[in-house]
Amino acid sequence: MKRVYKNLRIGVMTAVIISSAAGCSRSSVKVRRSWVELIDRLADIEAVCRLDEQPTHLISSYDRSGKNEDYNNFEKEGPVGWDELADIRGPGYISRFWFTGADDGHHKLRIYIDGARQPVFDGTIGEFCGGQAPFIAPLAVTESFGWYTYVPIPFRKRIIIRVQEGNTREGNWPRIFYQINYSRLPEGETVESFSLPVPDAVQEALKWVGEVWQRDDFDVTGDCSIKTIQTHVEAGQTTEALALPGPGMIRELGLTPDLSGISSARERRAMLHNLVLRIEWDDSGSDSVASPLGEFYGSFHGPVQYESMFLGMKDGTYFTRFPMPFRQSARIRLENRGAHTVPVSVRAACDESYVPKVSDGYFHAGWHSTSPNDIGRPHPILRAKGHGRFAGTMLSVVSLDQQQGWWILEGDETIRLDDETIPGWKGTGLEDYFNGAWYYQNPIACPLSGLLFKAPYRTVQYRMHQPDPVQFASGVEMLFERGPDHASSGWLESVAYYYMARPQTAFSMLNSALSRIPPEDPLAKMTLMIEVLNAERLGDHAGAEEIIDAYLEAQEDFPFAPVLQARKLAYREKREGFAAVKPAYEAFLATETNEMARKQVEDILWYNEDPQRALLGLYCNTPVRVFLDGRLLAESRHPDKMSIERLTIDPGEHQLAIQAKWGPYPKWVQICLRTHKGDFITSRDWKHAYDPPGGWSAVKYDDSTWIPLGGTGLKGPPETPYIWVEPNIYIDMQSVAEGLRPREEAWPDKNGFVVYRKKITVQ
């Protein structure tokens, strides 16, 4: 994919030699890098293994006093009403910009290039991160309560970034949190500067990379030789799964453990911890990759299906696209520390014609874990000596500080490179590093960062440094605070992905299997549906079923077990179609006595009898009424369950309206209207108004002055402290619909109500 595209546009991507005047001396000749080249690198997976790129630097709003107030700390004051985030001398480029704490993205931002007195960009944070070309999704987005962009911003001489000042209201609001990654070009190189409107070639490059990211179109196998091996990894043994002669490069490695022979879902989960992936390069005598298989791929709490640029899992196959060049040999081994023999299929896409460059590093990965015994000390992601590059990390956090909730996520990251006595990289919070904010929103998998799991109080997150290289010449140390002052009693587990100029032993602490598994979270009994909805948000219905099976094993007397068994039938219906599963639904009704489960299965059968039938799901924790074409459909205020209403709806245009009373934070309303032609769900594009005059539920009511809700959305729902959700069988309803909540400060009368409206068309 990448190589074909480069061939099509080789003339655009090649660096250009320029000179300041005819007949200039050799020393005045510079390599001029194009803006297009910087953009194209965002789809260049192979770039992550290169050790000759210029290192990234970080400017952030970290608390200079060492406390936890990582906001409203700026490089310097700007003109009246403005603060300066960065003033960087070139040539160079901004590779990542992350921001949170402002009012729904309306905060002003200005960028000045190469000494110009007028800003080349003069707009809002929302426009800069997904709202205005060239800063558009998926390279620039608003998600998980933060704003960020990976659109590179090159500058030849200088760049200044200013933001409308914060700390203008009570409580230091707006609280401006920011992180800016940038790289300077090496001596003898220059670059074309950012400009608006963008040139046609730049627009083409941004469109192409955006399409690649949007489609997850990261196929790197090309003309590779595919090696597929079937092997059995005996309990207590280590098996050499694959041995490859060099030179060459493994461009994709897939591992499919067959756990179908293990009847227990909890034991299947445990095997993902007990299978250990080991890789040795060039007969070095040590494992450069040493990690539990599940942790390597982010499956800390059970299998997770997702896809990113470098890691993922689909249909039971775990795959990595980290490029793995080697010169003499590659040996892939699997160790089994469990009690079951496991068949494993290994698939390697190897480019045997590839000759490693001097600048290519050897891939390394190591697992590390810390526990409450480590209070007072940070959690180490990576410590390594030598020449190399930190490529990213997968991190699991389990907080046992239940009275403090998500406090462990207040821990900042630091990166110390080479001979630095003080870390040059200082972050502003754990979720900020992973492109989230305010303890995250919902699980999401993006090319370079993602949140794979979130339930009180556990998270799994990843970030990759493909566009912002963390290069080091003699060594690196990356640490995360164990919450503020290293005081959290939580568990942290991480896998560091990195490259070294020479093979060396992985930074790993593989102890006994039992010591690697955190204790059971006591809140897990309450968060079943949150975990199920997490899996659905990632499109992982098989993972949702596995969560149900593991939960029912642990909670043998769970009163909602029949409902969960019926929900598994609904997942089967999703895969096979209603006709295939209808007999199973009918058999369920013939034998099951649980009234709740029976009622919900009857809803599914009723819905499928007539294409004009629909189901309305309403989930809220404040008094809510839902109307269709002026007719009241449903009322509810239950934070612990979704209510369902049956209705018949004719084809054509219709008007949905929701009336919600004020309530203390957190409050939400969420609906999903399921029809045979598709679902209609609450989302941030619904119009809203406060205490509108009567008649607002009618079809022809004039809402032309109403505005879309906008904002960054809600956590969940549900949202803590409402962590229990009554199980139901209506899949992909609560997980797909967004929760609506207007801005607190915008609500004029706490005794009033807000109305949301949305016009829908039923085919």
Q: What percent of the chain has pLDDT over 70?
A: 95
Domain around 355: 221-360
Strand pairing class (30-33; 238-245): unpaired
In 237-387 the beta strands, taken as DSSP E runs, fall at: 238-245, 248-257, 275-281, 289-292, 306-307, 311-314, 317-320, 324-326, 329-336, 342-351, 362-370, 379-385
Specify whether 610 is located in the same domain as 723.
Answer: yes
Specify whether 607 is located in the same domain as 737.
Answer: yes
pLDDT at 256 > cutoff 80: yes
Has residue 699 been placed in a domain?
Answer: yes
Segment 72-117, tens digit of pLDDT: 999 888 999 999 999 999 999 999 999 999 877 889 999 999 999 9
Specify whether 149 is located in the same domain as 256.
Answer: no
pLDDT at 209 > cutoff 90: yes
| Across 170-176, average pLDDT | 90
Tokens standing for residue 717: 């729902």
pLDDT at 566 > cutoff 90: yes
pLDDT at 446 > cutoff 90: yes
Question: What pTM, to 2 d.p., does this model score?
Answer: 0.95
pLDDT for 746 equals 76
Has residue 709 been placed in a domain?
Answer: yes
Q: At what angle do helices 578-591 and 561-576 cross, to 10 degrees?
A: 160
Specify whether 205 is located in the same domain as 278.
Answer: no
Segment 331-352, tens digit of pLDDT: 999 999 999 999 999 999 999 9
* Residue 23 banded pLDDT, cuts 50, 70, 90: very low
Single residue among 360, 382, 406 that ends a domain in this structure: 360
Has residue 506 been placed in a domain?
Answer: no
Segment 570-592, tens digit of pLDDT: 999 999 999 999 999 999 999 99
Specify whether 447 is located in the same domain as 557.
Answer: no
**Alpha helices, DSSP H, located in 275-423:** 293-296
Specify whether 413 is located in the same domain as 491.
Answer: yes
pLDDT at 14 > cutoff 60: no
| Across 280-290, average pLDDT | 97
pLDDT for 15 equals 42
Q: Is 547 helix (H, G, I), strand (E, B) or coil?
A: helix
Specify whether 199 is located in the same domain as 240.
Answer: no
What count of residues does the chain have? 763
Specify whether 274 is located in the same domain as 395.
Answer: no
Q: Decide: 309 and 448 in contact? Cβ < 8 Å.
A: yes
Amino acid code (one letter) for 273:
H
Domain count for the chain? 4
pLDDT for 323 equals 98
pLDDT for 20 equals 37
pLDDT for 515 equals 61
Q: Identify the CATH number of the domain in which residue 448 sits.
A: 2.60.120.1390
* Residue 22 banded pLDDT, cuts 50, 70, 90: very low
pLDDT for 10 equals 34
pLDDT for 386 equals 98
Single residue among 303, 336, 360 that ends a domain in this structure: 360
Single residue among 444, 477, 495 that ends a domain in this structure: 495
Specify whether 425 is located in the same domain as 482.
Answer: yes
* Residue 513 banded pLDDT, cuts 50, 70, 90: low
Instruction: Quote the Cα angle for 252-209-216, to 5°.
Output: 45
Specify whether 467 is located in the same domain as 609.
Answer: no
* Residue 611: how many other CB atoms lie within 10 Å: 11
* Residue 217 banded pLDDT, cuts 50, 70, 90: confident
* Closest CA relative to residue 178, chosen from 240, 257, 96, 243: 96
615/634 Cα distance (integer angstroms): 11
pLDDT for 589 equals 98
Specify whether 67 is located in the same domain as 152.
Answer: yes
- Tokens 């059971």 label which residue? 520
282/247 Cα distance (integer angstroms): 9
* Residue 534 banded pLDDT, cuts 50, 70, 90: very high
Has residue 520 been placed in a domain?
Answer: no
Which residue would you say has higher pLDDT here, 287 or 217? 287
pLDDT for 455 equals 95
Segment 695-732, tens digit of pLDDT: 999 999 999 999 999 888 888 899 889 999 999 999 99
Has residue 519 been placed in a domain?
Answer: no
* Residue 543 banded pLDDT, cuts 50, 70, 90: very high
Has residue 317 been placed in a domain?
Answer: yes
473 secondary structure, DSSP code? S
pLDDT at 9 > cutoff 50: no
Q: What percent of the chain has pLDDT over 90?
A: 85
Specify whether 642 is located in the same domain as 710.
Answer: yes
Has residue 513 been placed in a domain?
Answer: no
Percentage helix, strand, coil for the chain under 3-state DSSP, each rounded to 5: 20, 35, 45
pLDDT for 401 equals 85
| Across 539-558, average pLDDT | 95
Mean pLDDT of the chain: 93
pLDDT for 11 equals 34
Has residue 503 been placed in a domain?
Answer: no
Which residue would you say has higher pLDDT here, 761 or 556? 761
| Across 620-647, average pLDDT | 96
* DSSP result, 146-202: EEEE---EEESSEEEEEEE----BTTTBS--EEEEEEEEPPTTEEEPPP-SSPPHHH
332/318 Cα distance (integer angstroms): 15
* Closest CA relative to residue 471, chosen from 392, 390, 415: 390
| Across 183-188, average pLDDT | 94
Query: Which of 128-137, 164-173, 508-517 is most confident?
Result: 128-137
